[in-house]
Amino acid sequence: MGALASIATVLGAGATIYGNVRQSQALHASNRAQAQVTATQETARQETLAAQEQQQALQRQQTLARTIAAARARAAASGISPDGGSAAALAAGLAAESAAAQGADTATLQARMAQGRSSLLNPDGTLTSLLQSGRSFGVAARNLLD
């Protein structure tokens, strides 16, 4: 009868270990699928941010070109040479201001893109179920030795 109890304990421990391993495999597959979904969402978010940044840069360039053209036209209408002197300084100032704004927008974009990245240290739970299986096996082995 004692041998039968030992065999039952070993079989029970084996079934527990098998169940824990299967649960671990299922959890790992689920975590992998969730990681893929998260990666896809992050890629889409970053592509959206990049597209928005390109659109803003294009709008800034168009606004700068229109502003400089208007300033040159006003200078020419006033009898001032639009290619030199204060008109050229005005155009250079507008270009520098636009470049500074573009730099600030680029820094903001980089911060927004880095914000959504997940850490490599996120737990996936696979080690936990493996350790639980080892604990079950240890309990079974201790029962056999008693």
- CA pair distance 33, 30, nearest whole angstrom: 5
User: In the chain, what are the helix, strand and coil shares in percent, each to the nearest 5?
Assistant: 85, 0, 15
Mean pLDDT of the chain: 78
User: pLDDT for 99-124, tens place per residue?
Assistant: 888 888 888 888 877 776 555 445 55
Specify which of 9-13, 22-26, 81-85, 126-130 reaches the highest per-range mean pLDDT.
Answer: 22-26
Half-sphere exposure of 92 (CA within 13 A, CB side): 7
User: pLDDT for 36-55, tens place per residue?
Assistant: 888 888 888 888 888 888 89
Question: Which of 91-100, 113-122, 123-132 shows the lowest per-residue confidence on average (mean pLDDT)?
Answer: 123-132
Predicted pLDDT of residue 131: 59
